[in-house]
Amino acid sequence: MTTAAHNNRLPLTALFGVLLGAAIMVAPLVWTLLLSLKSNSELMRDSSAAFSAPYTLENYRAILVGSDVPRWLLNSIIVSLGTTAAVLMLCSLAGYGFARLDFPFRRTLFVFVLLGLAIPEQAVILPRHQLFATLGWHNSYPGLILPGLAAPFGVFFMTQYFRAIPKDLDEAAMLDGASRLDVFWRILLPLTLPAQATLGVFTFLGSWNDYWWPLISATTSDKYTLTVGLAAAQMNYAQTSGLGFLMAQAVFASIPILIVYIIFQKQIVQAMAGAAVR
């Protein structure tokens, strides 16, 4: 990440701006962490108590013992990973098909898929809810994962990527007697890993953050995702165990994804950049 011409020192005003921005980014997170480490009764009197000791891990203990948060976290992981894996598979297959193969109505079908880019989730979510009800698919992992799979953007993205790979590669392999599937699986797919990463990151985050669909599709607490589970707690917070416990839930629920983010930061940043370079 460098541009030689710009590699001189940051002007003081800009440095100040960045630092101020960083402080605004971090302050809510630190505040949340501090609140989560305080006893609920102390916070009930005055939340300024968060600025001073004593701190306690009691709220975190309570999460592990008496709450559904760990279960919701697991559900979120299952749904997001499931969606991501399935989207990558479907979009790679379709992208390869559209980019490399000849079959009837290929162009028409591709345009048909592109039309889907214009349909926002909100326009189909209510009828889809009715459809899934008729089929009895609600309140299940497949029911939570499936709606994320109709991802026309993914197909468009993968098709563009496959098109950019020189055709000589697969033609040479075909001459060596490899099958279509072989070419796809052994030669082309590994070349698309950067695109897979980009699409994967977008899909995962989209699914991880999805709120409306799990809100209306998951009907029992043991199928809630984090977004839905924590929603009930915060809208009710007068009647909860207290502010500290609530904030401990927020911290507890964010830690796994933040860790993943920190570990894979480089890849995620590259993946994001990949999206712009198309």
Partner 1 sequence: MKIKLLLATLGAILLSGCQSDDERPTLVVQRFFGECGAVYGKSIDVGKAETECGIVTTMLNRFAAENPDINVKVNIVAWPGYAQLSAQIAAGDPPDLVTMHQSVISDYQARSLLEPLDEMLADAGITTEMLTPAGQRGTIKDGRLYALPWDTIGRLWHINTALMAEAGLMRNGKPLLPRNPEELIDHARKFKAATGKPYLVQAQVAAPDYLVANLYTYLLAQNAVVFPDARHIRLNTPEARKIVGLYRTLNEEKLTTVAQDFPSATANFVNGGGGIFPTGTWMIGPYEEAARSGTSALKGYAVAPFPQLWGQSAAFVDGHGWVVPKDDRSSAERKAIVRFLSFLARYNSDWTRTGHLPAFNAVLSSSSFTQQPHRRDIATMAATGQQLPGFVQRQSAIQGLIGEELEAAVSGVKPIDRALADAERRVNELLSQI
Partner 2 sequence: MMERRVSGMVFVLPFIGLYCFLLILPFVMGLWISFHRADLFGSRHWVGLDNYVRLFADPVFYQAMGTTFTLAVLIVPALTLITLLLALALNRASRSAAIFRGLFFSSSVLSVTIVTLIWRFVLTPDSGLIAKLLTAMGIEPLPFLSDPNLTVPALAITTIWWGLGLPMMLFLAGLQQIPQDMYEAASLDGANRWTTFFRITLPSLRRTTILVIMLQTAAQLQIFGQAQLLTQGGPSGSSRPIVLYIYEVAFGRWELGYAIAAAEVLLLLILALMLAQYWLSTRGEEVQR
Tally of CB atoms within 10 A around 68: 16
Asked if residue 212 binds partner 2 (CB under 8 A), the reply is yes
Binding mask 14-53 for partner 2 (x = CB under 8 A): xx-xx--xx-xxxxxx-xx--x-------x--xxx-----
What totals of helices (H) and strands (E) does the chain contain, helices first?
16, 0
Contact between 138 and 128 (Cβ < 8 Å): no
Contact between 174 and 183 (Cβ < 8 Å): yes
**Sequence-separated (6 or more) residues with CB below 8 Å from residue 229:** 68, 69, 72, 221
Asked if residue 8 binds partner 1 (CB under 8 A), the reply is no
Contact between 116 and 152 (Cβ < 8 Å): yes
Query: Rounded to the nearest 10 degrees, how much is the dihedral formed by the CA atoms of 231, 233, 238, 241?
Result: -160
Tell me the backbone φ, ψ of residue 93, rounded to 5 degrees: -55, -50
- Measured in Å, how far apart are the chain's first and last C-alpha atoms? 18
Binding residues for partner 1 restricted to 120-139, rule: CB under 8 A: 129-130, 132-134, 136, 138-139
Binding mask 227-246 for partner 2 (x = CB under 8 A): xx-xx--xx-------x--x
- Of the candidates 56, 67, 254, 267, which one interacts with partner 1 according to CB under 8 A? 67
Closest distance between partner 1 and the C-beta of residue 239, in Å? 2
- Of the candidates 77, 81, 85, 124, which one interacts with partner 2 according to CB under 8 A? 124
Binding part of the chain for partner 1, among 2-10, 19-27, 57-65, 109-117 by CB under 8 A, reads: 57-65
Asked if residue 62 binds partner 1 (CB under 8 A), the reply is yes
Judge residue 201's burial from the number of C-beta atoms within 10 Å of its C-beta, 0-12 exposed, 13-18 middle, 19 or more buried: buried
- Of the candidates 89, 172, 258, 259, which one interacts with partner 1 according to CB under 8 A? 89
Cα(7)–Cα(191) distance, integer angstroms: 32
Asked if residue 52 binds partner 1 (CB under 8 A), the reply is no
Binding residues for partner 2 restricted to 68-87, rule: CB under 8 A: 76
Specify the residue, 88 or 271, whose C-beta has the smaller distance to partner 1: 88
Specify the residue, 114 or 205, whose C-beta has the smaller distance to partner 1: 205
CA 216 to chain centre: 19
Binding residues for partner 1 restricted to 217-256, rule: CB under 8 A: 217, 219-222, 231-233, 235-242, 245
Cα(244)–Cα(235) distance, integer angstroms: 15
Nearest CA among 225, 246, 215, 271 for reference residue 81: 225
- Of the candidates 111, 141, 261, 263, which one interacts with partner 2 according to CB under 8 A? 261
Binder of residue 122, out of partner 2, partner 1, none (CB less than 5 to 8 A by kind): partner 2
Contact between 39 and 222 (Cβ < 8 Å): no
Asked if residue 174 binds partner 1 (CB under 8 A), the reply is no
Closest distance between partner 1 and the C-beta of residue 155, in Å? 18
Binding interface with partner 1 (CB under 8 A): 40, 44-45, 59, 62-63, 65-68, 78, 81-82, 85, 88-89, 129-130, 132-134, 136, 138-142, 215-217, 219-222, 231-233, 235-242, 245
